[in-house]
A and B are shown apart, each in its own frame.
Chain A
């Protein structure tokens, strides 16, 4: 710390030098004043004098005096020709107090004290007025240049000493800081001086420390870094700041923040360093604790498996986890996006919900948790999630709203399951309705006709009787087919089959003839070519044929005929074709035709049915290693075709 050095001229008088500066170094302030007053008397022959100093309120106060009454001092105290910050203060010389107008207000006190001349010299240092000394004379006095020069020199010396003492006091106050440890190091890092706080920090006494270097007390892991920094000071750097650890004799480690400045002497030569050290162990512990706590919080939020995010009091998103981003389908912009990271929010009814009306915004606005609201979140890719948001406001320890946390419970799967269950129930209902219709309608006809023929026979015409009997037979056949199809659909298994070589021509001819008997008003035409024996089972082939005939008759006009052909397929296998001149197939129906309970729109519009016959046919052909296919008949209508393996191709064991 450089002090303002007074210019050499002030020390020209050797006697003055010794008198004031000698005392100024070490003695009490009163001794300095006394020495100054003595010096004034010796050099200027003045027996009455006073020294006044600005107090902390900016008022000049008498500090030391010779041959002045208390009454006088009380009367004039506080008067000053200069303010503290006047900049350049010049001495005020009053050769005859009685003729000086500026002293008029004090004239009485001055006269009573018997004073007739006086001179005030400012004590200034670095542009500041510290105080003044005043010389008093009993007679009017003409000041000589020598007197003025001597007085100025003494003023400069007093000011210098005062200023030096003040700066020293500041340094001492700083050095005795109970918070900052201060140590002065020599060029090798050895301690020159340390303050009490530094001793306390390092756990060593002053005398102990002055035998050590700063490396001795540094934690081994930090020594290298400390060395490098000190070297940089020697190489011209002016200061550095670092955080390091000290190792106390008791083994305790303390963390410090250290600011080190180089001390340079004349010609900028490196002369050591001064270090200011503060203990940051508690701060570091608190920081580490905070980090650990925050880490735990993040891990908790991240590992919940629930979508969670937080906002500040304004609703700006501050934290979110992967699950939340997954639901949103976008990563929100932290510090920008508000209330929700969603692309689009809808109500369960499918209406758009403005973002500022989402439950999170409501919770923040009303400072209340929101529960029981269901939302649909739509992601940018169009995927939708059903969620139950649980926004909850968060408060600080004074109860002020600081933000909110929102847990999004994804109930998409639940909703899907619900919808599936509802759909399954609906399908079951449709199925029951369909099966009931297909079974109970023929039953109603059979039962009704039976009862009428039994009880009202005498009232019924012959023609109506005949129709009733015919209907009983036909409906019984229909019922039989439906029941067979239903039963087969549930229990068909190839292991139950006994497959044998058979004549397809024979089986088909018999089946067509039988079917013709129950449908006397339709024409079934049969054409049979020579085909090799086929591998299959007669009852199953009959079932397939009856199903195909039933469909052909059902979906074609009454006055058209149905053709059944037994022939070889393109690859030579025994094949049966059933062709009608009916409503035909749409291309999109062909793919689904064999799906259980599937019915094309055309079929639905034409007649009732289970949609089970073709599914059964396909299953039946599969278990016999056969094939079945559907297509359009050239010239209109539908063509079904099924084939079986040739018996010779794979002889039975």
Chain B
């Protein structure tokens, strides 16, 4: 089971209000073997979470309808405990600390930075689950 869990491709949810950025981020992560779902705001993200389980969420803060902070509080309140990577053009690290998220990267970024951050967070999450 553990091996299966390790081998299974990880499912990611990426939220950003910019469709072009979503396409780029999605492409970067798919090239590394992740399954990627995208949503243009927090509300659409919550809808995706009704139907799928995700191993990690990449989250922009500035979004219409339901912003990143609101979305984060909702999923934590709903018991989602997988890592969340904050993606922001301004104050990403500060927001990470405030919200209690696991990672943060600032825009603009090269794809390797995004991919490395996601992989590191998933490995850490897996090792903690194993130990636990």
Contacts and interface: CB of A to CB of B under 8 A. Distances in A.
Bound pair (A, B): yes
Interface of A is mostly: helix
B107 A452 contact: no
A448 interface: yes
Contacts of B110: 447-448, 451
B63 interface: yes
Contact of A433 (B65, B91, B111): B91
A444 B111 CA distance: 9
A605 B64 contact: yes
B107 A433 contact: no
Given A437-B90, A441-B16, A459-B31, A471 B107 contact: no
B45 to A, nearest CB: 15
A460 B106 CA distance: 25
Contacts of A607: 17, 64
B64 A433 contact: no
B62 to A, nearest CB: 5
A441 B64 contact: no
A437 B16 CA distance: 11
B108 interface: yes
Interface in A442-500: 442-449, 451-452, 456, 459-460, 464, 467-468, 471, 474-475
Interface residues of B, number: 27
Given A447-B108, A605-B64, A468 B90 contact: no
Nearest to A431: B90
A439 B65 CA distance: 21
Given A467-B23, A606-B64, A448 B18 contact: no
A440 interface: yes
A448 B17 contact: no
Interface string A311-323: 0000000000000
B90 to A, nearest CB: 4
A157 B91 CA distance: 122
B91 A443 contact: no
Contacts of A468: 23-24, 27
B79 to A, nearest CB: 27
A436 B89 contact: yes
A432 interface: yes
Given A436-B89, A444-B109, A475-B20, A608 B27 contact: no
Nearest to A441: B18
Contact of B31 (A436, A449, A456): A456
A460 B20 CA distance: 16
B24 A437 contact: no
Contacts of B108: 440, 443-444, 446-448
Contacts of A451: 110-112
A452 B89 contact: no
A104 B62 CA distance: 129
Which of A433, A459, A475, A604 has the most chain B CB within a 10 Å cutoff? A433
B24 A433 contact: no
B25 interface: yes
B31 A608 contact: no
Interface of A: 432-434, 436-449, 451-452, 456, 459-460, 464, 467-468, 471, 474-475, 604-608
5 contacts: A432-B90, A433-B89, A448-B21, A448-B109, A460-B31
Interface of B: 16-18, 20-21, 23-25, 27-28, 31, 62-65, 88-91, 106-112, 114
Given A436-B89, A439-B89, 12 more contacts: A432-B90, A433-B62, A437-B89, A437-B90, A441-B16, A444-B21, A448-B110, A449-B27, A460-B31, A604-B64, A607-B17, A608-B63
Closest 8 pairs (CB-CB, A-B): A444-B108, A440-B89, A436-B90, A436-B89, A440-B107, A448-B24, A471-B20, A433-B90
